[in-house]
Amino acid sequence: MQTDFSNNNGSSGIKQDGTPYGVLIVDDSKFVKKQLGRILESEGYEVISTAAHGAEAVDKYKEMKESIDLVTMDITMPGMDGITAMEKIVQFDSSAKVVMVSALGKQDLVKKSFMLGASNYIVKPLNRDKVVERLSYVLNS
């Protein structure tokens, strides 16, 4: 498979078979959910669903596993946090791809996430190009 991520024609969210990659967006901030959704949809990804806390994320992943190719997971949320939710999702499906969404300066939490099975991470405030590059990398590796 070609690994050319410089492709900027709005199609990095489309699989080789022409169907979109499905994403579950998890964040307690409506603003971040909307912002991330807009970035992903502009690249052809399909937002399968969103969740506002960890427990909802785990439930939705289990329910919609077949259509979810990737999860973006906020770390800090009320109730079940993102690291715990990611861990539960990876325990349920060892091939799950979960990308953590971290505030700046939380390297310790990012490191912990990697040890517990996260695929990668992105940092808030979100940079469009970096988000797209990171997700493409995760989906193609």
Q: Which of 76, 106, 116, 120 binds Mg ion (CB under 5 A)?
A: 76
Cβ atoms of 22 and 69 closer than 8 Å: yes
Q: Which is nearer to Mg ion, 49 or 76 (CB)?
A: 76
d(CA 111, CA 71): 18
Q: Which of 43, 56, 69, 74 binds Mg ion (CB under 5 A)?
A: 74
Note whether 67 binds Mg ion by CB under 5 A: no
Note whether 56 binds Mg ion by CB under 5 A: no
Q: Between the CA of residue 92 and those of 27, 76, 86, 87, 95, what are the distances in Å?
A: 20, 21, 10, 9, 9
Q: Which of 12, 22, 28, 99 binds Mg ion (CB under 5 A)?
A: 28
Which residue is listed with tokens 């912990």? 112
d(CA 118, CA 116): 6
Q: How far is the CB of 29 from Mg ion (least distance, A)?
A: 5
Binding residues for Mg ion (CB under 5 A): 28, 74, 76-77
